[in-house]
Amino acid sequence: MGSTRLAANVVLAILAIFVTFAMFITKNTVHDMEKELIAVNSDIEKNVEAIHMLNVEWAYLNRPERIRELASKYTPLEDIKTIQMVNYAALPFKYENADSSRRMVAQRNISSQAERNRSLKHLVKAQR
């Protein structure tokens, strides 16, 4: 009976050592994961700050006054004059001979656009 008790005590001692070793490994693993979590949270905070700064810079660069100034400086655009507008009927369109219905619809559209241009020209002349 004494040898069974001794064997049981040895098994319990080995089991206690194994559990202690497993707890030590688990503690170190948790500690390493906490360090990694702190590093990831730090990276997230840095990225949020970087995104905030980029948004501020984007807002600064997209100010309408700045864009207007750059556009006037680098693009030599002027206001459109009525002389520059062309009547659609004067444009050289080539139509398919086989499809006369499409041609008629296109001519009606061109005529209506030309009529709108004429009325716009009259309005512009009246405003001068």
Rounded to two decimals, what is the model's pTM?
0.44
Specify whether the CB–CB gap between 114 and 89 falls below 8 A. Answer: yes
Residue 26 tokens, joined: 């688990």
| Confidence at 122, pLDDT banded by 50, 70, 90 | low
Which tens digit of pLDDT belongs to each residue from 23-59? 999 999 999 999 999 999 999 999 999 999 999 999 9
Mean pLDDT of the region 70-97:
74
Cβ-proximal residues to 120 (8 Å cutoff; 6+ apart), any chain: 82, 85
**What pLDDT score does 112 carry?**
77
Chain-wide mean pLDDT for the chain? 84
